[in-house]
Amino acid sequence: MVTSTLGGLRAACGDVTEAGADDTVDGVPARWVAWPGSNEEVSAVLRAAAELGLRSVARGTGSRLAWGAPPTALDLIVDTSRMGAVLAHAAGDLVVTVQAGLRMADLQDALAPHRQRLALDNGDTAGGPVAGGTVGDTAGGTVGGTIATAASGPLRYRYGSVRDLLIGITVVLADGTLTRSGGTVVKNVAGYDLGKLYTGSLGTLGVITEAVFRLHPLPEASRWITVPASDAERAAAAIAAIRASQLDPVALEVDRAAPGAPVTVGVAVEGVAGGIGTRADAVADLLGEAAGASAAVTEQPPGWWGRPPHPPQGPAAVITCEPTGLADLLTTGLGALRGSAGAGVLIAGLDDGDRLGAQLAQLRGIATRHGGSAVLRCAPPHRRTGLDVWGPVPALALMRRLKDQFDPEHRLAPGRFVGGI
């Protein structure tokens, strides 16, 4: 049986291997790994997998496979590492088309000589071309993984998150259908914007094979302005002062090690060399006054900038709240809190111990008071048992119907997403 299944997969995709010890998804072992080299091979191997009754999960470098819930069943990993090309960079149009297996850091490296970037600085590229060096996850995530997990960073305050920068996408559905939506121009309202649905879907709707992004110019100059506020109230006041200003920062971040610890507020500004100093000083004045402490201006980001406040396996949660809820969250919220105060999306590094569930519940309580949510991003599998990973999910019935339309037999990443989708 095993041999014939492998044979069936190999007939569809030239490179299929038996899974090794490391070929697991969040602790769940796979049986085979396919290494397709083209859209057509992804399509063929998923069609074969469907015919063989297999459950599949897509994988880039695997740096965020711990996010979401573990799959309820797994046979095949579809690895995109042979699909890592920049297919087209239309520099004059500020658009790039890439394969899903391309590493984010490599994408930024390809764009930088053109003085352009994808304005997305998740852990893969935090401080990348801007700060002059790649940091973050050791493996460095891919384009496909970035889309599937909607992983963004400090720049989201000004440029939006993955959903806002993705203008076209190619996906293979569970039945092997190769399908595109969007296009290669920024301004385009033809048809449904399915890219939004695939973004953050943890691979439950299809396997992403190509993406088209809008790009932004690399700024001529950047400055980071940070201030250590003695308490959460002062930090929140500093954040509110920046929001109300006309200084147009690109990032508005916060970092707090533990409840009661000082709260660092960080702001990034970008622009022309001739004007950056004036703006940075104005930000520093505003921050310093509101926080009651002296703000520092630097030409490099602080060490914590854009780095998740947790080990790759977690435990960690994503906490969202309305801007006016920040003081409450920063005062009482458990764990290490860091992230985009500007966008109202923080990451909480939590205890790898028995208190995890209580911490998550406490944070969910605060977030809910302020219009937000608390989602367990990742945790060692044994810690997750019995925990409500997602919390309340509005419109879940519609989401189930959507899943049933795209993947009626639940062959892709089963159980990884909200409501057991």
Q: Is residue 246 a contact point for another protein (CB under 8 A)?
A: yes
Q: Cα separation of 419 and 404, whole Å?
A: 13
Q: Is residue 388 a contact point for another protein (CB under 8 A)?
A: no
Q: Cα separation of 317 and 81, whole Å?
A: 28
Beta carbons of 259 and 332 less than 8 angstroms apart? yes
Q: Is residue 343 a contact point for another protein (CB under 8 A)?
A: yes
- Crossing angle for the helix pair 2-12 and 39-51, nearest 10 degrees? 150
Q: Cα separation of 312 and 125, whole Å?
A: 15
* Shorter beta-carbon distance to another protein: residue 15 or 233: 233
Q: From the list 33, 42, 76, 418, which residue makes contact with another protein (rule: CB under 8 A)?
A: 418
Give the total of residues touching another protein (CB under 8 A): 86
Tokens of 317: 């949660």
**Contact letters for another protein, residues 52-91 (x by CB under 8 A):** --------------------------------------x-
Q: From the list 191, 260, 292, 311, which residue makes contact with another protein (rule: CB under 8 A)?
A: 191
Residue 16, C-beta contacts closer than 8 angstroms, at least 6 positions apart: 6, 9, 10, 32, 33, 34, 35, 45
Residues 164-183 contacting another protein, CB under 8 A: 164, 171, 173, 177-181, 183
Q: Is residue 372 a contact point for another protein (CB under 8 A)?
A: yes
Query: How far is residue 35 from each of residues 11, 39, 341, 417, measured CA to CA in Å?
Result: 13, 11, 40, 24
Q: From the list 7, 72, 87, 115, which residue makes contact with another protein (rule: CB under 8 A)?
A: 115
Q: Is residue 404 a contact point for another protein (CB under 8 A)?
A: yes
- Closest by CA position to 210, among listed 179, 188, 187: 179
Residue 338, H or E segment: strand 336-340
Beta carbons of 336 and 256 less than 8 angstroms apart? yes
Q: Which amino acid is at 143?
A: V
* Shorter beta-carbon distance to another protein: residue 27 or 183: 183
Q: Is residue 344 a contact point for another protein (CB under 8 A)?
A: yes
Q: Is residue 306 a contact point for another protein (CB under 8 A)?
A: no
Residue 376, C-beta contacts closer than 8 angstroms, at least 6 positions apart: 314, 315, 316, 317, 360, 384, 387, 389, 390
- Nearest distance, CB of residue 19 and another protein, angstroms: 29
- Nearest distance, CB of residue 344 and another protein, angstroms: 5
Q: Is residue 369 a contact point for another protein (CB under 8 A)?
A: no
**First-to-final CA distance of the chain:** 28
Residues 127-166 contacting another protein, CB under 8 A: 150, 160-161, 163-164
Q: Cα separation of 195 and 37, whole Å?
A: 22
Q: From the list 247, 257, 361, 387, which residue makes contact with another protein (rule: CB under 8 A)?
A: 247
Residues 259-298 contacting another protein, CB under 8 A: 271-272, 274-276, 278-279
Q: Kindly give the pairing relationship between strand 207-214 and strand 95-99.
A: antiparallel
Q: From the list 6, 110, 257, 396, which residue makes contact with another protein (rule: CB under 8 A)?
A: 396
- Nearest distance, CB of residue 107 and another protein, angstroms: 18
- Nearest distance, CB of residue 339 and another protein, angstroms: 10
Q: Is residue 3 a contact point for another protein (CB under 8 A)?
A: no
**Contact letters for another protein, residues 193-212 (x by CB under 8 A):** xxxxx-xxx---x-------
- Nearest distance, CB of residue 176 and another protein, angstroms: 10
Residues across the chain: 421
- Nearest distance, CB of residue 281 and another protein, angstroms: 10
